[in-house]
Amino acid sequence: MKFTTLIKLLQNHLRCIRLARLLLLFTLLLTSSAFAQKNRSFDDFVDKDCECYNRKKEGFLSKVDAHCHFRPFGGRVIPFTELVSYFQRSGVLYVNAYGIGQTLPSDDTCTYYLDCPGTPVTPSLRNDFVNAANYLEYKGRDTGKPDDPFEGEERINLVLSMTFPDLAHPERVTEYIQLLDAEYPGVFTWMGEVNLVKQALFANGQTGASFASIAKWKPFMDTILKRDIPINIHSDIGCNGPADSLTKYLYLMEEVLTRYDSNKIVWAHMGLSKELTEMPAEQHISILSRLFDKHQNLTLDLSWDVLWDSVFVDDVARAKYIKFIDAYPTRFITGTDFVASREAKKYKTYKEALYKTSLINKDMSDEAFRNIALGENYFKLLNLDYTAPQICEKKRKKKVKRKEVVMK
Ligand SMILES: [Zn+2]
């Protein structure tokens, strides 16, 4: 290679590095400016006459994280109180504490299931026990103290979720609900995220549920129906490939929605996944609109930053989804899908997940923004006695009519 070519290559390389640094700096600036707003206080959601929410001044970040995994797949966990401080610091006030639907064996060194194909992953009761124990350790023990995360001035509202059900083998779910009832009466008011069909788990021994296993859910679906407990289900619509593979598994979710038409069903990530990134927006939206119209019990969950990276990031597709969300503003909730694994995860990671999953809020109508980002839909789903602040009316720009001076 000639010396001059080598110099040119080096110069190009340095230019690329400089550009990458600039891009990183730009992203960091954008993220930190989104977090620079003053956070809303909890009392604003109790007081119906509180100050209206100014979207321009107060930003677009969600106040609700209805999809957060407090337990990792395996390995070390972010301590409970540290995780709670992430919500307080970022202004999130309402959180669902999920376990994780795919735990690795407790005696295994693997910490992420995709790194160890062949190692079996299964839902487990131990997540739910640990979450409940951690929660009760703090709740109400220091009532009146300002630093109590659930009673103090900077409190958050935590909803505990049962994440243990194995939907492919549901025989013992009711029995386990009774076990949690006995140990932690009245603590669990949500169920999920449970996996109906998740292709990412196929290499770890999970095959997904079938019509036969869905029929066997009845006893536990009746129990949660009586308690008005919503269930968040992860169910892939299909996978990339030939046209018919895009909707390969859709029939399973349709069966659940039809069979359990009185249960409050939340569909995680709108049925999308890393395996399904090529479905045209029109096709996806038309499937979801049809299901919304047919099943009044369905709510869609906008959680997971993958939705931004693979779908919403595209301006044309995003405009279509915004139109869809605005047309059904009472049918969505939001969340980060953060997993509290200590491996490479810290406050910055949570902040980024919240930022990315909130970006879609920016373009929503005021009604959809209040219902989704500020949590009105979430409160209604859970019958929580909170009200999202109203959105401030936009000031109309006064048009100064210029008087035409007629020159004579
Ligand atoms: Zn999740």
Say which CATH number the domain at 189 has. Answer: 3.20.20.140
What tokens does 370 get?
């209040």
Contact between 73 and 111 under an 8 Å Cβ cutoff? The reply is yes
Q: Compute, in angstroms, the gap from residue 95 CA to the centroid of ligand 1.
A: 13
Q: Compute, in angstroms, the gap from residue 359 CA to the centroid of ligand 1.
A: 18
Residue 244's Cα: distance from chain center in Å? 28
Q: Compute, in angstroms, the gap from residue 332 CA to the centroid of ligand 1.
A: 16
pLDDT reading at 178 higher than 90:
yes
The chain-wide mean pLDDT, for the chain, equals 86
- pLDDT value at residue 408: 38
* 15 is a domain residue: no
Which structural domain, as residue segments, surrounds residue 216? 62-382
pLDDT in tens, 196-234: 987 766 666 666 788 999 999 999 999 999 999 999 999
Number of domains in the chain: 1
* 103 is a domain residue: yes
% residues pLDDT > 90 (the chain): 62
Q: Compute, in angstroms, the gap from residue 1 CA to the centroid of ligand 1.
A: 51
* 18 is a domain residue: no
Q: Compute, in angstroms, the gap from residue 189 CA to the centroid of ligand 1.
A: 17
Q: Compute, in angstroms, the gap from residue 178 CA to the centroid of ligand 1.
A: 24
* 376 is a domain residue: yes
* 99 is a domain residue: yes
* 17 is a domain residue: no
pLDDT category at 25 given cuts 50, 70, 90 is: low
Q: Measure Cα distances from 390 to 44, 370, 371 in Å.
A: 10, 7, 10
Give the DSSP per-residue string, 168-201. TSGGGHHHHHHHHHHHSTT-EEEEEEEEEE-GGG
Q: What is the mean pLDDT of the segment spanning 152-179?
A: 91
* 392 is a domain residue: no
pTM of the model: 0.86
Give the DSSP per-residue string, 272-287. -BTTB--S-HHHHHHH
pLDDT in tens, 96-146: 999 987 776 667 777 776 677 766 667 789 999 999 999 988 876 655 566
Question: How far apart (Å, rounded) are the C-alpha atoms in residues 131 and 97?
Answer: 7
Q: Compute, in angstroms, the gap from residue 373 CA to the centroid of ligand 1.
A: 18
Q: Which residues surround ligand 1, an ion (CB under 5 A)?
A: 193, 337
> For residue 284, which of 324, 255, 331 has the smallest C-alpha distance?
324
* 174 is a domain residue: yes
Q: Compute, in angstroms, the gap from residue 161 CA to the centroid of ligand 1.
A: 12
